[in-house]
Amino acid sequence: MSSFKILITSQKGGVGKSTVAANLAAFVRRLGKSVTLIDFDTHASSSNWLNRAPEIGVSVQHHLLPLEQGGKRPILDARLHLRRAAERAEVVVCDLTWTDAIASELMLEFDLVIVPTSVSEIELSATAGFLNRHRWVFDAIILHSAPMLLMCPTRVHPEQLRSDVFSNQRFPVSFMLAPPVLEAQSARDLFERGYLMDLPDACGTSFVEFGKAVMAALEMREASLVVRETQTTPANLSAIVRKPLHNPTASKTATVSSQASILGRHRLQKMRADATSGKNPSAPSQMPANSLASMRIPQFFKRMSMGMSTK
């Protein structure tokens, strides 16, 4: 069985990492895929959520990595648990708070790395620093090695959607931007009781949009691997180099508007589908009040959707 492996990680707590991990695992399971969640965190928030919420069919594991031993031991343990899970599940979701005791190369075991982040300037700056320390992973030119990187704005308040703080921050690596997951008291109330995708409010809608974006990313990953496998021959192997999702700037960094945006593609596809069915996606009167599309879309999202430059 070919398994897709997703890592949800950050070095900072309080960004909703475990919430995203538990609820993404549930979202993918409801799509009919076999899913295993591996919770590497001490507090076991994501595994507790799935173990105590209504049964949805996700296989849940909680393993503590031997971080105090240092060296290669943490990464060897993580690889062992990951590969065993991948033998039994179509999708493996890992929840891991990153520390300096973990070697960057662990990320190479995954197809998709999701980094949740708030939209505050301080948090975005810290996230950019985290990515810079591990940039070689996403710039790897070894065939099949580099995972896709997905940035996920989390716990976003509706008024923050009007901010251009994301486009003002420069990031050292190529990434895709997921739809934002909105903040809501209803989400906190669901801890160990239910799932965000079932919330009948804007937070629930936002998480469903996020889940769809993740699945689109996995489809893109699968397609790229198929293309690479069919194109890999002894004659052209040395010529294959992973191309970045953006053209490098003079400073070798990139603004978010120059990144490939899943949000932009997803919104355009949805608009085309609505147009085909006779619906007008721009008319608020034809949309539910809690739909993300009824909110004001921030300028930096618009620029990414249209492929426009911030310059």
User: What pLDDT, on the 0 to 100 scale, is given for residue 233?
Assistant: 42
**In sequence order, what are the residues at sequence separation of 6 or more whose Cβ sits closer than 8 angstroms to the Cβ of residue 281?**
270, 271, 274, 275, 287, 293
Lowest mean per-residue pLDDT among 82-96, 174-188, 250-264, 295-309:
295-309
The whole domain housing 8 covers 4-306
CATH number, domain of 100, equals 3.40.50.300
The answer on pLDDT for 259 being more than 70 is: no
The answer on pLDDT for 106 being more than 70 is: yes
Q: What is the pTM of this model?
A: 0.78
Quick one: what percent of the chain has pLDDT higher than 90? 52
Is residue 311 domain-resident? no
User: What pLDDT, on the 0 to 100 scale, is given for residue 159?
Assistant: 82
Is residue 249 domain-resident? yes
Distance CA 194, CA 131 (A): 32
Distance CA 110, CA 146 (A): 8
How many domains are contained in the chain?
A: 1
Task: Express each pLDDT in 196-235 by its tens digit.
Answer: 999 999 999 999 999 999 999 999 888 877 766 665 444 4
Is residue 100 domain-resident? yes
Pairing of strands 170-171, 254-255: antiparallel
